[in-house]
Structure 1
């Protein structure tokens, strides 16, 4: 005889399994009998009627939503899973079933490793290719100050901007024609602001 809990929750479980297929299994457990009621897209080799091995629900730290996780699990073949469990209650508020979703992290881990390897520099930059690219120097100098001060360019203080301009001046950037508009864009200020700051910088004893 079909369990009414399976009939009730089957559409939800099937929908989750379909959305995350083939990378997730969805399991509905009977907490009282500690056995699997139903399973969708099985990855762990379990079947309905197998032991759930959930442990006592009374030992759980209460969760206002009844949801626990995501937490990590491991399959026997070494695959890592991100899992979340929800305790489903009946009309009287008693635990009726436990719904677990186990997502195979392997594709995510592989994608993360690929992106990390793709984005990471593997060799030093050939300076000969960039030694005449003064716009690169502007971007690097402003970017270094932004990272150091931990604030975006438009929020740099007057003292910060003077320090940036002093460094750019030391690098000879302002000896290049049309440098001021490029610096102004990098600092997100007007050209007149850059000219004023440069004047103050050079008139400082």
Structure 2
């Protein structure tokens, strides 16, 4: 096994993870950096590898390590993995390390967390006159109570719901009929008939 044989692996990993990862090929025996792609740490080929800790780990029989944390001199945090590469005789020859800069991911995580944070209630000054909002709320509350979707409401259910909308002032608004008809999934003519019946006498909740 030679560094030239391993180099394509390091190069494609660096291309895949660029610009967020550094890929380093170490010579286990010489304890030197053999090759490096996207050098976030500023190291160069020929620099000391400082892989002394892996000498002890090699006795465990494992050849894959991580992810484990590392820190760059400028304070950026990395998540790293390392793979020991052995020759045909099973002797450790090289170590391939991938060091991923977590900065971009942590920034994105904070941004998403901020968007997912609980929001305050709707300012009443903006919505107290929005009858379409009131319409949607009443319909949503009613179908939750009944446990059925709008399209499966019975005639008695629609009459009861219309009574509630009428009492809430929704049906007294201009151009409310088309919106209510869409919300109840009925035609305008059917809505007028239901509304006429609902206004004749009160309707008890259906059993």
Separation in structure 1 between the aligned mates of residue 61 and residue 144 of structure 2, nearest angstrom: 48
Partner of 1:151: none
Note if 1:93 corresponds to 2:90.
yes
Partner of 1:55: 52
Q: CA deviation at 1:138?
A: 6.9
The structure with the larger Rg is: 2
Contact 2:64 2:84 in 1 (8 A): yes
Note if 1:74 corresponds to 2:71.
yes
Partner of 2:7: 10
1:46 aligns to what SS in structure 2?
coil
* CA deviation vs aligned residue, 1:54-96 (integer Å, no higher than 9, x gap): 11434217365x2111111111111111111001111111111
User: Which runs of 5 or more residues in structure 2 are unaligned?
Assistant: 148-158, 163-204
Contact 2:139 2:161 in 1 (8 A): no
2:34 aligns to what SS in structure 1?
strand
Matches within 5 A, 1:88-167: 88-126=85-123, 133-137=137-141
Q: CA deviation at 1:124?
A: 3.0
Q: CA deviation at 1:136?
A: 4.5
Partner of 1:176: 161
Note if 1:34 corresponds to 2:19.
no
Separation in structure 1 between the aligned mates of residue 142 and residue 34 of structure 2, nearest angstrom: 64
Q: TM-score, normalised on structure 2?
A: 0.60
User: Which runs of 5 or more residues in structure 1 are unaligned?
Assistant: 142-160, 162-173, 178-197
Separation in structure 1 between the aligned mates of residue 36 and residue 28 of structure 2, nearest angstrom: 15
Structure 1 residues 56 and 71, CA gap change in structure 2 (3 angstroms): closer
